[in-house]
């Protein structure tokens, strides 16, 4: 069971999430390409996972008893890379090589390129099937203390293969009680708002009808998210989906809730403005916990 959050740890996590947002912006403006909105929106959840929830060891990335985190929507990898770097998997300075020729930090994650990556991801809708396979394999190997977490986007739920995985997981029931999926419900995709492109709701009821336990959370409330993870770990008869409601572009006013930022980086001037806002936000976080 994940340990409860105390005030000091919560402050650390909130500050780290903001630092990760700053470094995502720096990496994107240096790369001159990449996705902005999703990585900024998921910084709180990735921070909570790698600095509080996951049982992992950056010095032993292939440790057999580790928890696994599968990123299905690989295009938000700037936040995964940045979190891995701050967690100690590789030097933070390497973030400035994002998407450059011969860089280990490709535009979509390549499993063998970096320590800490569990899968290669690019085609949307595939990650949940991979996570299910891992969870079943851990069961066969009797790894009772290892869990599998799968990060998915809401937009990829417009694809048929993810619903095959959802249906299959529901059928497995208690065999997949160590599987927790986490959906980034930010309501946008590259062409617009999800409910205009291809409506997804009611997502909660759909997952429940396939036999999943479902929890809705504010994806920017780290304490609420950690509580949801604890609830998922206490569910023994079925897999769990945590629907995390997030703001795309979180922390940068001119990016928030604007779908045009789904797949583009900031210009140098926009990055300057974004970093100023994030540094101001960091000061607010520090003063709130004094």
150 vs 159: CA distance, rounded Å: 16
Res. 270: pLDDT tops 90: yes
Residue 240, domain member (yes or no): yes
CA neighbours closer than 13 Å in the CB half-sphere of residue 284: 8
Residue 125, domain member (yes or no): yes
Q: Which long-range contacts (CB under 8 A, 24 or more apart) does 258-263 make?
A: 258/37, 259/37, 259/188, 259/189, 259/190, 259/191, 259/192, 259/193, 261/36, 261/37, 262/35, 262/36, 262/37, 262/38, 262/188, 262/189, 262/190, 263/35, 263/75, 263/190
Question: Tell me, what CATH number does 108's domain have?
Answer: 3.40.50.970
Residue 150, domain member (yes or no): yes
262 vs 252: CA distance, rounded Å: 13
CB 51 within 8 A of CB 13: yes
Residue 1, domain member (yes or no): no
Per residue in 30-52, pLDDT (tens digit) is 999 999 999 999 999 999 999 99
CA-atom Rg of the chain in angstroms:
18
Q: Report the number of secondary-structure helices (H) and strands (E) in the chain.
A: 10, 7
Q: What is the pLDDT of residue 104?
A: 97
| Domain count for the chain | 1
Per residue in 109-161, pLDDT (tens digit) is 999 999 999 999 978 999 999 999 999 999 999 998 999 999 999 999 999 99
Q: How far is CA 122 from CA 5, 33, 77, 156, 235, in A?
A: 34, 16, 10, 11, 30
Residue 2, domain member (yes or no): no
User: Domain range spanning residue 16?
Assistant: 7-288
Q: What is the pLDDT of residue 127?
A: 97
């Amino acid at each position: 069971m994940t340990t409860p959050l105390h005030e000091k740890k919560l402050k650390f996590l909130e500050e780290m999430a903001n630092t990760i947002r700053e470094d995502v912006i720096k990496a994107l403006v240096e790369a001159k390409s990449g996705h902005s909105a999703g990585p900024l929106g998921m910084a709180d959840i990735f921070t909570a996972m790698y600095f509080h929830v996951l049982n992992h060891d950056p010095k032993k990335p292939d440790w057999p008893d580790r928890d696994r985190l599968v990123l299905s929507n690989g295009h938000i990898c700037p936040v995964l890379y940045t979190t891995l770097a701050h967690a100690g998997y590789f030097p933070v300075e390497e973030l400035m090589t994002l998407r450059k020729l011969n860089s280990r930090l490709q535009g979509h994650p390549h499993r063998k390129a970096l320590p800490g990556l569990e899968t290669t991801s690019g085609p949307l809708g595939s990650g949940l099937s991979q996570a299910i396979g891992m969870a079943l394999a851990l069961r066969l190997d009797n790894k009772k203390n290892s869990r599998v977490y799968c990060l998915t986007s809401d937009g990829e739920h417009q694809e048929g293969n993810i619903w095959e995985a959802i249906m299959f997981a529901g059928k497995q029931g208690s065999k997949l009680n160590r599987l927790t999926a986490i959906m980034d419900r930010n309501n946008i995709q590259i062409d617009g708002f999800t409910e205009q492109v291809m409506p997804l709701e009611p997502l909660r009821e759909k997952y429940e009808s396939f036999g999943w336990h479902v929890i809705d959370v504010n994806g920017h409330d780290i304490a609420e998210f950690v509580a949801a993870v604890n609830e998922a770990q206490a569910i023994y008869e079925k897999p769990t989906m945590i629907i995390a409601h997030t703001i795309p572009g979180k922390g940068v006013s001119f990016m928030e809730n604007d779908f045009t930022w789904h797949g583009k980086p900031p210009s140098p001037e926009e990055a300057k403005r974004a970093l100023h806002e994030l540094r101001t936000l960091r000061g607010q976080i520090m003063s709130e916990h004094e």
